[in-house]
Structure 1
Amino acid sequence: MAVTIRDVASEANVSATTVSRVFNHTDLVRPETVERVRRIADEMGYQPNATAKSLSHGRTDAIGVVLPAPHGEFFSEVMRGIDEVAQSSHYHLLISSSHYNRDEAEAAMRALSGRVDGLLVMTTHVEADDILQTPRPDVPVVFMNSSNVGPDHDAYDIENREGAYKATKHLIERGYRNIGVITGPRNSLDVQERLSGFRDALSDSGRNPSEAPVIDGDFTRASGYEAGKQILELDPRPDAFFSCNDYMAIGAISAFQEAGITTPGDIAIAGFDDIPSARYASPPLTTVRVPVFDLGRRAAQRLLDRMAGHSEMPIEEATLGSELVIRSST
């Protein structure tokens, strides 16, 4: 049976109010009493109630994070940047996923907003007005790579369109003639912008983007593998593909290899994100490197500044640049 605050109070011969003050407002209790109550609480194995403590302080010492998906190297790198900042400032992280669904994103933010001191949000389906309808509209919010956030919230994005343009232009300059694309979730802002960059590069080279083969995926390696099998059935078969993320590119290469198709000899492929495993793929993957760790780190630091009451800071909207990394797959 858990030790309660009243158990500690009885053993220490003080009131339950005094025990509460020892763990929440030590300035209101004599130092010798604080020392005695804490010693007795430790001996009894008492653990202060975190919820009650947060209500007493008016803060939770926690940051909420809403991501489109709960797994993958891309999101792991985002979380690594966030965690570095949170840990250095002694904040805990509460993480939820929208699964690329607008309703789930809004539900996650409503659920988290009453439990955290600030929110970091990466979702393609949320608008600023949705945040203002949460149970605690005073919770600071910083967006990462999200759409339609409006002028009243800090927002940090990655260079999706330009990155895709660079990758597609590289394939064109390498002499590939029939270039297709593997997409991700069509309701994803990332996919929409990367498709735009892909098509712009084709158009600028005098090609008709509407003639480019389009294979659907969902950002997973398995969907890339299925896309690879579909590519092998196309007639005429494209000689190169741009994949809207690395996972799908690596999956497609696996399908090619199973069929005896070489990369880049038979089909070249370029990805996006430069996840850690991209350089260790076989062959190593040409891809667009985006500073995902910095995205999480900068957004988290900005949120901490807002949580500290720096409301006078101007709203910051920043786009983090991209870099084409050329490896053996092209």
Structure 2
Amino acid sequence: MPATLESVAAAAGVSRATASRVLTGSPRVSESARERVLAAARELSYVPNAAARSLVTRRSDTVAFVVCEPEEKFFSDPFFSTVLKGAHHVLAAHSLQIVFVVVSTDEDRDRLERFAAGGHVDAAMFVSLHGSEDMPTRLDALGVPVVMAGRSLHPGAASLPVVDVDNAQGAVVATRRLLERGCRRVATISGPTDMAGAIDRLDGWRRALAEAGRTPADEDVAEGDYTVEGGHRAMQRLLDLSPPVDGVFVANDLMAAGALRAVADRGLAVPDDVAVAGFDDIPIAQATQPPLTTVHQPIEDLGRTMAQSLVASMGGERAPLHVRLHTHLVVRASA
């Protein structure tokens, strides 16, 4: 038979209540009793009853990792798994589990809200928020601590914790690199313009051109969807412009990989005919031909910092409202 709390208490020579306090982490026990209970638990291979513990603590010890994209996009973009890796390091150290949730339909949203209202998650982190997404505010209204990767464009989410990178400044630095190379017409492939990070990167591109005394043109902006194919399609449109584009800042590395393929399809050379700079510095940036000059953002640190924010909130502390992480340019052969 599996060991019970009663058998652990008997082996340690303490009451059931004392054994329970030790095994739930309460400080209200003597060091001698703590050592005896922990030794007995190890000897008997005691495994706590999670359901019973949840009834006492009113916690599930589970954090939801919510990606507001279709499932196939999560598995095709290493950005998400890298954020998840960073979050897992922190949450595992606090004996917290992660449940992965995809939210892309109204049914998904209602299901997550019911799941959270039922006490099955203690907190939630949101990644890849699009314009009117209201799930962070819906969970916050239930009393569930939340944190967002990048600010939300939903007006009700303005007071919720955010961990972000300096998207605008990263875009400025990448665009300046193209201008310093002598590029005469610098265009951009933006991310979806219903996402705050994509808007900030587009603003950074515009700011860098304005600082150089150039007027950003609407036709020099091709909107993409943060996928390789989306970058390929957007680059094809830019390559049809006249006079020709000879520099392109791309708002993420997956789209930049597609853009490089589009340039090669036209028989043009990178960077001699068209210089390309990306954003993210995911592993694909080193594997493209040529290797991609890109803005490095600390993606794993993003996940760690989000998890730390949630751990603080779950412990009753006030999480920072807005944490901004730094970026830097990694120069390779594409620009």
Same fold flag (TM > 0.5): yes
Instruction: Report SS of the residue matched to 2:217.
Output: helix
- Who is 2:67 aligned against? 67
Measured against aligned partners, the alpha-carbon deviations of 1:249-286 in whole angstroms (never above 9, x if no partner) come to 11111122233211111111100111122122211111
> How far is the alpha carbon of 1:125 from its aligned partner?
4.0
Are 1:110 and 2:113 matched, yes or no?
A: yes
What is the identity, as a one-letter code, of the residue corresponding to 1:276?
P
Instruction: Report SS of the residue matched to 1:65.
Output: strand
* 1:119-138 map, 5 Å: 119-125=124-130, 131=136, 133-134=138-139, 137-138=142-143
Instruction: Report SS of the residue matched to 1:234.
Output: coil
Do 1:253 and 1:263's aligned partners in 2 also have CA atoms closer than 8 Å? yes
Q: 1:58 to 1:219 in 2, by over 3 A?
A: same
- Who is 2:237 aligned against? 230
- Who is 1:177 aligned against? 184
Are 1:96 and 2:96 matched, yes or no?
A: no
* 1:9-48 map, 5 Å: 27=17
Number of equivalences: 303
Do 1:167 and 1:287's aligned partners in 2 also have CA atoms closer than 8 Å? yes
Q: 1:149 to 1:163 in 2, by over 3 A?
A: farther
Do 1:123 and 1:146's aligned partners in 2 also have CA atoms closer than 8 Å? no
User: Once superposed, what is the RMSD of the aligned Cα atoms?
Assistant: 3.6
Do 1:142 and 1:154's aligned partners in 2 also have CA atoms closer than 8 Å? yes
Q: 1:198 to 1:136 in 2, by over 3 A?
A: closer
**C-alpha separation between the residues in 1 aligned to 2:107 and 2:327?**
30
1:84 is matched with which residue: 84, 89, 95? 89
**C-alpha separation between the residues in 2 aligned to 1:237 and 1:194?**
23
1:327 is matched with which residue: 297, 322, 332? 332
> How far is the alpha carbon of 1:309 from its aligned partner?
2.4
Instruction: Report SS of the residue matched to 1:163.
Output: helix
What is the identity, as a one-letter code, of the residue corresponding to 2:270?
T
Do 1:126 and 1:146's aligned partners in 2 also have CA atoms closer than 8 Å? no
Gaps of 5+ in 1: 1-7, 20-24
Instruction: Report SS of the residue matched to 1:272.
Output: strand
Instruction: Report SS of the residue matched to 2:101.
Output: strand
Identity of aligned residues (%): 34
Measured against aligned partners, the alpha-carbon deviations of 1:196-229 in whole angstroms (never above 9, x if no partner) come to 1111111111111125512221100111122233
What is the identity, as a one-letter code, of the residue corresponding to 2:242?
D
**C-alpha separation between the residues in 1 aligned to 2:112 and 2:156?**
14
What is the identity, as a one-letter code, of the residue corresponding to 1:63?
V
Do 1:120 and 1:142's aligned partners in 2 also have CA atoms closer than 8 Å? yes
**C-alpha separation between the residues in 2 aligned to 1:203 and 1:52?**
62
**C-alpha separation between the residues in 1 aligned to 2:91 and 2:319?**
22
**C-alpha separation between the residues in 1 aligned to 2:225 and 2:51?**
38
Comparing 90-99 with 198-207, greater Cα deviation is found at 90-99
Comparing 146-155 with 230-239, greater Cα deviation is found at 146-155
Gaps of 5+ in 2: 8-14, 21-35
Do 1:128 and 1:153's aligned partners in 2 also have CA atoms closer than 8 Å? no
**C-alpha separation between the residues in 2 aligned to 1:112 and 1:205?**
52
Q: 1:300 to 1:28 in 2, by over 3 A?
A: same
Q: 1:289 to 1:111 in 2, by over 3 A?
A: farther
Q: 1:121 to 1:280 in 2, by over 3 A?
A: same
What is the identity, as a one-letter code, of the residue corresponding to 1:207?
R
Do 2:137 and 2:156's aligned partners in 1 also have CA atoms closer than 8 Å? no
Instruction: Report SS of the residue matched to 1:263.
Output: coil
What is the identity, as a one-letter code, of the residue corresponding to 2:169?
E
**C-alpha separation between the residues in 2 aligned to 1:213 and 1:117?**
45
Do 1:181 and 1:212's aligned partners in 2 also have CA atoms closer than 8 Å? no
**C-alpha separation between the residues in 1 aligned to 2:170 and 2:289?**
22
**C-alpha separation between the residues in 2 aligned to 1:96 and 1:283?**
36
**C-alpha separation between the residues in 2 aligned to 1:165 and 1:267?**
18
- Who is 2:293 aligned against? 286
> How far is the alpha carbon of 1:160 from its aligned partner?
0.7
Instruction: Report SS of the residue matched to 2:179.
Output: helix
* 1:182-201 map, 5 Å: 182-201=189-208
- Who is 1:4 aligned against? none
What is the identity, as a one-letter code, of the residue corresponding to 2:94?
S
- Who is 1:5 aligned against? none
Do 1:240 and 1:267's aligned partners in 2 also have CA atoms closer than 8 Å? yes
> How far is the alpha carbon of 1:129 from its aligned partner?
7.8
Do 2:124 and 2:144's aligned partners in 1 also have CA atoms closer than 8 Å? yes
2:252 is matched with which residue: 245, 250, 265? 245
Instruction: Report SS of the residue matched to 2:237.
Output: helix
